[in-house]
Chains A and B, each alone.
Chain A
Amino acid sequence: AQSVTQLGSHVSVSEGALVLLRCNYSSSVPPYLFWYVQYPNQGLQLLLKYTSAATLVKGINGFEAEFKKSETSFHLTKPSAHMSDAAEYFCAVRSSTSGTYKYIFGTGTRLKVLA
């Protein structure tokens, strides 16, 4: 069964500092991997996705993630945090069984940006 683990339910960084949010996955087949962001009282919005093309994926708002098969990781990074990055971030993996698709989400990481 496929699964996603996000290490750290809360992460705090200073404005301008590197953002690193960790995600490890478990999958028996090449996965589709996603990062979503959720701002308060809103739905989830796609940041970026990995679909077996380039291992370094660039997304919106300056975020990027690198797929590392050997480490089964898909960590999200941003070189310089901005106050507007404060939100909750979810990593997800898409599993496929008999032509049906299920998206499995991690428990989320709440990012706090300190002035």
Chain B
Amino acid sequence: GAGVSQSPSNKVTEKGKDVELRCDPISGHTALYWYRQSLGQGLEFLIYFQGNSAPDKSGLPSDRFSAERTGGSVSTLTIQRTQQEDSAVYLCASCSAGLNTGELFFGEGSRLTVL
């Protein structure tokens, strides 16, 4: 696609339920990043993919959070047993393989609300 696509754009769930957030990066971008944006907290790094592997998953806040990427393209962020503190906007970004430009291209985010 022309840009980074994220779905759903909004998700309301009940505490304890599992959620999946999807990111479709720009075609040909091998690097993919997930960030969490909470009110007043800036962007919190979650995980970084290069191809299908995740060399840096240091930002995942707990073992309830996991992510995968298949075919070097689409990525899914899964949050199990959601808690109210998981409420945030989850942003995905992709970057070209050579990283010479260094520019991240962001999707519009998935807003998660846990009741």
Contact = CB atoms under 8 A, between A and B. Distances in A.
Interface of A: 9, 32, 34, 36, 41-46, 49, 51, 90, 94, 98-108
Contact of A41 (B42, B102, B107, B108): B108
A43 B42 contact: no
Majority-rule SS of B interface residues: strand
A90 B102 contact: no
Nearest to A104: B45
Contacts of A46: 103-104
B12 interface: no
A45 B42 contact: no
A43 B99 contact: no
A101 B98 CA distance: 11
Given A100-B50, A102-B45, A107-B40, A43 B91 contact: yes
Interface of B: 4, 31, 33, 35, 40-43, 45, 48, 50, 55-56, 91, 93, 95, 99, 101-104, 106-109
A93 to B, nearest CB: 10
A44 B108 CA distance: 8
A101 B31 CA distance: 9
Given A34-B104, A43-B91, A105-B45, 13 more contacts: A34-B102, A43-B107, A51-B102, A90-B42, A98-B55, A99-B55, A100-B50, A101-B95, A103-B33, A103-B45, A105-B35, A106-B42, A107-B42
A103 B55 contact: no
A94 B102 contact: yes
